Amino acid sequence: MRTWVFAASALLALGVAAPARALNLGNLQAQLGQVLGGAQAPTAGSSAGSGAAPSSPEPAAVAALSNTEVGQGLKAALSRGADIAVHELGRANGFYGNARWRIPLPPALQRVEGLMRAAGLGGQVDALDLAINRAAEAAVPQARSLLLDAVRSMTLQDAKNILTGGNEAATAYFRSKTEAPLRRRFLPIVTRATARVGLAQSYDRLAGQAAQFGLVHGDQASIEQYVTQQALDRLYQAIGEQEKAIRADPLGTGSRLLGKVFGAALGH
């Protein structure tokens, strides 16, 4: 009952005036009963573990590599993956114009989107959809320097763990070293980009209240928190895809060093 009351209040606060013929409480309750029930937001990628996991015994081909080759090879691979991911996402339409990376509206708003459009509020919905994706595009370039700092600070043991640690070991390393500071960098950029949209402000007010009662997950308690986490998840997923591509075809990178180092990890 509490969720239904909050959902109805949310619609009123957002300015939704349903046509008289649509005021069927049974139908509305069926559609809105769980509008702010706190379903987990879809994410582009799940959170990885902290750092590169300890590796299993090194394959003979990896053991035969010099420390210099391992260190330089891993740093080159991580720098390459980070650069490509940041370039792909941190540009115009990197999120908004790409269905693969586009950030959807928060689940609570998705559930009432149809009703809002029927009430003539489609323009506000579209404005928020654009704003959250443009915010992510503006934030992602801030990641490059932190990602490269993580590469420069990588130890030889980190490099060996990443080399033999599986398809997402480098991505896990990046996440452990950069996620917290990147969140701090992304949040004010996202806030500035979404503050101009009235619907974002209404959502923040209502979702913040709902979060206090456990009706909305903490990472969806504001548009800014939601977009920041979604942008981070997509960034790490994009880095992970670059990592997998390098591991699968190191010679395809055109780098003799990467071919040798990752070829050794493949047993070539």
Residue 191 lies in a domain: yes
Residue 136: both structure tokens together = 């992510």
Q: Is residue 111 part of a domain?
A: yes
Q: What is the pTM of this model?
A: 0.76
Is residue 25 a part of any domain in this protein? no
Residue 59 vs residues 63, 65, 73, 163, 257: alpha-carbon distances, Å: 6, 10, 16, 11, 18
Residue 235 lies in a domain: yes
Which tens digit of pLDDT belongs to each residue from 235-249? 999 999 999 999 888
Nearest to 32 by CA among 116, 120, 103: 116
* Residue type at 218 in one-letter notation: G
For residues 171-183, give the mean pLDDT: 96
> Does residue 27 lie within any of the structural domains?
no
Number of domains in the chain: 1
Distance CA 135, CA 115 (A): 26
- Each residue of 118-172: pLDDT tens digit? 988 889 889 999 999 999 999 999 999 999 999 999 999 999 899 888 889 999 9
In a domain, 75, yes or no: yes
Taking only the tens place, the pLDDT of each residue in 70-123 is 899 899 999 999 999 999 999 999 999 999 999 999 988 888 888 888 988 889
Residue 112 lies in a domain: yes
Q: Residue 30 pLDDT more than 80?
A: no
The answer to the question of residue 134 being in a domain is yes
CA-CA-CA-CA torsion for 118, 121, 124, 129, nearest 10 degrees? -10
Range of the domain at 223: 2-6+61-265
